[in-house]
Chain A
Amino acid sequence: MHKYYLNHLQELEAEAIFVIREVVAQFDKPGILFSGGKDSIVVTHLAKKAFWPAKIPMPLIHIDTGHNFPETMAFRDNLVKELGVQLIVGSVEESLRKGRVKEETGINASRNALQITTLLDAIEEHKIDAAIGGARRDEEKARAKERFFSHRDDFGQWDPKNQRPELWNIFNGRKQMGEHFRVFPISNWTEMDVWNYIKEQNIAIPSLYFAHQRQVIYRDNTWLPLSEFVTLRQGESVEEKQIRFRTLGDITITGGIESDADTLEKIVAEVAAVRSTERGNRGDDKRSETSMEDRKKLGYF
């Protein structure tokens, strides 16, 4: 006897594929925001499945802060080659050179907020009308309020108090000239779902997610990777630790955790046992209680 139901990962996959296909059907120039992190890798994998045997009919868009993990860049270039898709790079360095943004100064300066301008410039330059992202509702409280199809006005801004209600699986992508949408196909996935899916589908991810030896500095309760962009502060020292990263972002603000999880099986087990959220090691979220919402309103991912 057949049982006509899907398990939870199959159902989440079917939902995400449906959403990605809706984007391609409803918009003229969609693109996938690709950070090199696991969530955007999963979204790209889902897009590959959604249009097979055709290629993914839209470009990948990478917002490059200039402060990258070299491993992420190599991974990105390989993937783009393998998929045969176009890559659009929005460069924060270039935004700085053109004077569109100014480097932050002070003790916790980062290029995190600068990405907003670069992203919006890239969207405008390439006339992108729907940018697909890997954000999930379980990640952060402002993201918990996101729609699958999230409207942005012609300044690229999000108005969380005035969002379109989203019913059943009917998505309203209607917009005026100059406006665009952000679309989040894996809204309903949790960190656990993402890892289980990566394991089940055997999806390639950057080596940074696996436990490895690395030179790190202990700062703000997390292990910050040593790189050319980090200067030691008083009392800090470089140590060699076995760590892995739970999220990947700009190298200057992404902290690692001590871990010996060097296989997907061990990572899944570790995620199941761990008692803090994955963004707990992200400096960008710690600036205030609503720092994610504040950045999102301006046009952040």
Chain B
Amino acid sequence: MQLLRFTTAGSVDDGKSTLIGRLLYDSKSIFEDQLAAVQLSSERKGLGHVDLSLLTDGLRAEREQGITIDVAYRYFATPKRKFIIADTPGHIQYTRNMVTGASTANLALILVDARNGIVEQTCRHSFIASLLQIPHLIVCINKMDLVDYAEDRFNQIVEEYTEFASKLDVTDIRYIPISALNGDNVVNRSENMDWYQGATLLNTLETIHIASDYNHIDGRFPVQTIIRPHSDEYHDYRGYAGRVAGGIFRPGDKVTVLPSGLSSKIKSIDTFGGAVEEAFPPMSVSITLEDDIDISRGDMIVKQNNQPHVSQEVDMMVCWLNNRPMQQGAKYYLRHTSREVRSVIKEVVYKIDINTLHRMEGDKEIKMNDIARVRLRTTQPLMLDAYRKNRSTGSLILVDESTNETVAAGMVVDSFNN
């Protein structure tokens, strides 16, 4: 059974809670005592229906204000797959939460109200999904019951979206006409839309090919920590512990350690269950090398014939996550894989209007929820890949030096001339 992580975003009205509720309920992932508690709360609030958002709006402030403040994670499984939903609120701190939820997702669900077609919010969701390089997009055209299950309306919206999506960087987009309220094409095939021959939403989620979502080409192994048992049995053991961030490693591979540039060969790839012949993302393993060379946390073991860009200049898209705006010329801690360095913002190249996707070259003030292209310089070299090529070695965060808060998410832009 594989694990699929997907993200949903939207406001109360577009039927998102209903859709998630239906997926959870129809897959029997809501327990009786949870349902009873939600029913009771809904009645207490004087609602005429069972408000499924109460299932995860768990914080006191959320329940009081009837809003979702934070990304909520929900879990369900079918006999075919296990699913993790990162459900992000539609209004408050919208971009920040959507970016957070999207950062680990294989797939994004975009909800479109069949009556309204593509609206500003659809564009924002889609742009963020594309910026975060979510490999698969499912556009659910919802509330088909309110447009008489009309094929024309569906085709119209598909055409509209396809045109908009040509500006995005997403290759796998699918369209499904649904009614979350009545269950059409969610778990069961619709009896009202004979004209739709494609798969239901759940069936798509269960079968979409996700095994190639990781980079299996460029060998990247950021070292997290060194394992030295100091025991009689393993007296000279020195294992470099980490999680494979790209490529496939095998014993005997010629490797280079960056940034030092020293070379060696992989002696073994160890796990508690025994040595393995291959390690690929996202496996956590320990690598031992033939030669005794100086390696510490923050170094990266890579294949000798395929190396990342080693640089102290970073060209990236950032999403600003903090109330305090970005300070040009200010210094931030920068975390990239297992490495931490200090950095300084050199230049804001442009800001993006996420509703129109226009570049705003004059506006250089980067505030919470803004997305911009930025150049910065670091005190120590980083081993970078473009985010497009590798979501692990192409992503980074900035941390405020005085508050220690995570203030920005960065995605490395492919501008290397190597």
Q: Please state if A52 and B272 are interface contacts (CB–CB under 8 Å).
A: yes
- In angstroms, how far is the closest chain A Cβ from the Cβ of B232? 11
Say how far A52's CB is from chain B's closest CB, in angstroms.
4
Nearest chain A CB to B413 CB, angstrom units: 16
B230 CB–A CB distance under 8 Å: yes
- The segment from B7-15, B52-60, B140-148, B378-386 found at the interface with A is B52-60
**Contact pattern, B 379-407, Cβ under 8 Å of A = 1, otherwise 0:** 00000000000011001110100001110
Kindly state the separation between the CA atoms of A13 and B282 in the bound complex, as whole angstroms. 10
Interface contact B395-A167, CB-CB below 8 Å: yes
Q: How near does chain A come to B378, taking the closest CB pair, in angstroms?
A: 15
Bitwise, B304-321 to A at CB < 8 A (1) or not (0) is 000000000000000001
Complex: chain A residue closest to B224, CB-CB: A21
Residue in chain A with minimal CB distance to B391: A168
Q: Determine if B233 is an interface residue (Cβ-Cβ < 8 Å).
A: yes
Asked whether B262 is an interface residue with its Cβ less than 8 Å from the other chain, the reply is no
Residues of A within 8 A of B330 (CB): none
Whether A54 touches B278, Cβ cut-off 8 Å, given contacts A275-B31, A290-B60, is no
Q: Are B283 and A6 in contact (CB under 8 A)?
A: yes
Residues of A contacting B41 in the complex (Cβ-Cβ under 8 angstroms)? 289
Given the interface contacts A14-B283, A145-B72, does A161 sit within 8 Å of B61 by beta carbon? yes
B62 to A: closest C-beta gap in Å: 9
Residues 1-27 of A, flagged 1 when their CB comes within 8 A of B and 0 if not, give 011111110111111011001101100
Given the known inter-chain contacts A2-B278, A24-B225, A168-B391, please indicate yes or no for A14 contacting B405, CB distance below 8 A: no
Q: A170-B335, A172-B404 are in contact. Are A142 and B59 (CB under 8 A)?
A: yes
Is the Cβ of A54 less than 8 Å from the Cβ of B227? yes
Q: Does A128 contact B (CB under 8 A)?
A: no
Output the nearest chain A residue to B96 by Cβ-Cβ distance. Answer: A165
Kindly state the separation between the CA atoms of A18 and B73 in the bound complex, as whole angstroms. 20
Tell me which of A8, A48, A50, A138 contacts B3 (CB under 8 A): A8
Residue from the list A13, A175, A275 in contact with B32, Cβ < 8 A: A275
Contact partners of B229 in chain A: CB under 8 A = 53-55
Residue A192 CB within 8 A of the other chain? yes
| A172 partner residues in chain B, CB cutoff 8 A | 335, 397, 399, 404, 406
The reply to whether the CB of B293 lies closer than 8 angstroms to some CB of chain A is no
Which B residues are in CB contact (< 8 Å) with A108? none
CB < 8 Å neighbour of B272 from A4, A21, A49, A292: A49
Residue from the list A18, A164, A174, A289 in contact with B243, Cβ < 8 A = A18
Q: Which of A38-76 contact B (CB under 8 A)?
A: 48-55
**Which residues from B are CB-within-8-Å of A192?**
77
CB distance from A2 to the nearest CB of B (A): 7
Assembled-state Cα–Cα distance A275/B28 (Å):
9
Main secondary structure of the interface of B (DSSP, over half): mixed
**Interface of chain A: mostly helix, strand, loop or mixed:** loop
Chain A residues in 8 Å Cβ range of B173: none
Q: Report if A290-B63 is in contact (Cβ < 8 Å); known contacts: A165-B406, A169-B392, A277-B33.
A: yes
Produce 1/0 per residue, A124-164, CB < 8 A to B.
00000000000001101111110000000000000011011
Check A188 for interface membership: any CB of B closer than 8 A.
Answer: yes
Q: Is B267 an interface residue (CB 8 A)?
A: no
Q: Which residues of A contact B370 (CB under 8 A)?
A: none
Let me know if B1 and A166 touch, CB within 8 A: no
Report which residue of A6, A170, A294 has the largest number of chain B beta carbons within 10 angstroms of its beta carbon: A170
Do A50 and B241 touch across chains, with their CB atoms under 8 A apart?
Answer: yes
Quote the shortest CB–CB distance from A147 to chain B (angstroms): 10
A55 to B271, CA, bound (A): 14
Q: Which residues of B contact A231 (CB under 8 A)?
A: none
Task: Give the interface size bracket for B toward A.
Answer: 35 or more
Closest to A167 in B: B103
Closest-CB distance, A127 to chain B (whole angstroms):
19
Contact A188 B211 (CB under 8 A): no
Within 8 Å by CB of B399, from A6, A21, A174, lies: A174
- Say yes or no for B69: interface residue by CB 8 A criterion: yes
Asked whether B56 lies within 8 Å of A54 as measured between CB atoms, the reply is: no
Which residues of A, 89-133, contact B by the 8 Å Cβ criterion? none
A277:B297 contact, CB within 8 angstroms: no
Contact A164 B59 (CB under 8 A): no
A78 touches B (CB below 8 Å): no
**How long is the Cα–Cα vector from A280 to B33 in the complex, in angstroms?**
7
B165: chain A residues at CB < 8 Å are none
> In the complex, which of the residues B55, B214, B241 has the most CB atoms of chain A within 10 Å of its own CB atom?
B241
Query: Given the complex, which residues of B lie within 8 Å of A6, measured CB to CB?
Result: 282-283
Tell me if B228 is interfacial: C-beta within 8 Å of chain A.
yes
* Contact residues in A for B39 (Cβ distance below 8 Å): none
A220 to B87, CA, bound (A): 34
Residue in B75, B100, B242 whose CB lies within 8 Å of A137: B75
A293 contacts partner chain B, Cβ-Cβ < 8 Å? yes
Contact B228–A54 (Cβ < 8 Å): yes
- Output the least CB separation between A83 and chain B (Å): 13
Q: Which residues of A contact B (CB under 8 A)?
A: 2-8, 10-15, 17-18, 21-22, 24-25, 48-55, 137-138, 140-145, 160-161, 163-170, 172, 174-176, 187-188, 190, 192-193, 274-277, 280, 289-290, 292-294
Complex A-B: 6 CB contacts under 8 Å: A7-B3, A8-B2, A25-B224, A25-B225, A137-B73, A165-B409
- Give 3 closest A-B pairs by Cβ, nearest first: A141-B58, A49-B272, A174-B404
Q: Show the binding face of B for A, using Cβ within 8 Å.
A: 1-3, 31-34, 37, 41, 55-61, 63, 69-70, 72-75, 77, 81-82, 84, 96-97, 99-100, 103-104, 210-211, 214, 216, 224-225, 227-231, 233-234, 237, 239, 241-243, 248, 270-273, 278, 280, 282-284, 297, 321, 333, 335-338, 391-392, 395-397, 399, 404-406, 409
